[in-house]
Amino acid sequence: MNPENMTPEQMAAMAKQQCIFCQIASGKVASKKVYEDEHVVAVLDINPANPGHILLITKEHYVVMPQIPDDVVAHIGMVTKGLSHAVLRALKAQGTTIFVANGVTAGQRAQHFMLHIIPRMEKDGVAIDYPEHEISDADYKKIHTALRAGVAKALGQMEGLEEETAAEEEMIEEAEEKVAEKEEEEKESEAEEEEVEEAEEEAEDEEVSLEAMATKPKKKKKKAKKKAKKKEEEPEEEVDEERQKLDDVSSFLIQ
């Protein structure tokens, strides 16, 4: 049959026929089952990350999590908890790593949804690694706002969030404008300072040429010293502020 002429139901039936995990779930392909009920089957991975690596698969052919009905997803969560508990007890594992590769970009290899439960021991060499990037305050707030709106839609929670989101967006815009204004002001005042300094120096040079050499240059030196000191102090203050920001973020993360 030409796949182009097939109904969605026929397409689904064909995908199921060709799916090795559907065949494992139905028992057509042999496996080492550790659990089975009406919705799911749990089997030992034939190439385990650690001995006891379990694959929890749905009996229906679903490719990614969004396709799975809510009640089955809830059931998967419950079964996962039981399997993890059993791994800790029966294999004396010190922990479990639980994950779903949801989509090809996330490293999904099979065309059938599965949840991995991997027993963990100290220094077992299993690496589920990810980088820890720094993020600016502005981006952090933007991501938070976008996600909260998306989560509210997906889960239908958090009433009054729309107003809050609009208010937050306004706040971010205002903060960004203020930063731009401040930068502009700083630039202007720097230019003004330079002009004043030049004028003062010129005036002093004239005075020096008129008066005795002893008194005036001292004053100028003192002023220059004071200015140099001020310049040294400023960058440190900035670094302190940055540090404070990072501390704030990490204490938030720990909470």
If the CB atoms of residues 11 and 179 are measured against Zn ion, the closer one turns out to be: 11
Nearest distance from residue 101's CB to Zn ion, in Å? 15
Nearest distance from residue 57's CB to Zn ion, in Å? 8
Do 69 and 38 contact (CB within 8 A), yes or no?
Answer: no
Spatial CB neighbours of 244, under 8 Å, sequence gap ≥ 6: none
Nearest distance from residue 60's CB to Zn ion, in Å? 8
Query: What does the alpha-carbon distance between residue 208 and residue 73 come to, in Å, rounded to a whole number?
Result: 86
Of the residues 40, 55, 112, 117, which one makes contact with Zn ion according to CB under 5 A: 112
Of the residues 31, 45, 52, 61, which one makes contact with Zn ion according to CB under 5 A: 61
If the CB atoms of residues 30 and 127 are measured against Zn ion, the closer one turns out to be: 30
Nearest distance from residue 110's CB to Zn ion, in Å? 8
Contact set for Zn ion, span 18-37 (CB under 5 A): 19, 21-22
Q: Which of these ranges, 91-99, 110-118, 146-154, 196-204, lies near Zn ion under the rule CB under 5 A?
A: 110-118
C-alpha to C-alpha distances, 138 to 90, 132, 172, 179, 255, nearest whole angstrom: 48, 18, 7, 11, 20
For 117, the 3-state DSSP assignment is: strand
If the CB atoms of residues 111 and 165 are measured against Zn ion, the closer one turns out to be: 111
If the CB atoms of residues 19 and 44 are measured against Zn ion, the closer one turns out to be: 19
Q: Is 116 one of the binding residues for Zn ion (CB under 5 A)?
A: no
If the CB atoms of residues 60 and 124 are measured against Zn ion, the closer one turns out to be: 60
If the CB atoms of residues 34 and 114 are measured against Zn ion, the closer one turns out to be: 114
Spatial CB neighbours of 50, under 8 Å, sequence gap ≥ 6: 93, 118, 119, 120, 121, 124, 126
Q: What backbone phi and psi angles, to 5 degrees, belong to 96?
A: -135, 145
Nearest distance from residue 40's CB to Zn ion, in Å? 12
Residue with the closest Cβ to Zn ion?
Answer: 19
Nearest distance from residue 58's CB to Zn ion, in Å? 8
Spatial CB neighbours of 230, under 8 Å, sequence gap ≥ 6: none
C-alpha to C-alpha distances, 42 to 27, 45, 110, 139, nearest whole angstrom: 12, 9, 16, 41
Q: Is 126 left (phi over 0), alpha (psi -120 to 50) or beta?
A: beta
Judged by the rule CB under 5 A, the positions of this chain that interact with Zn ion are 19, 21-22, 61, 112
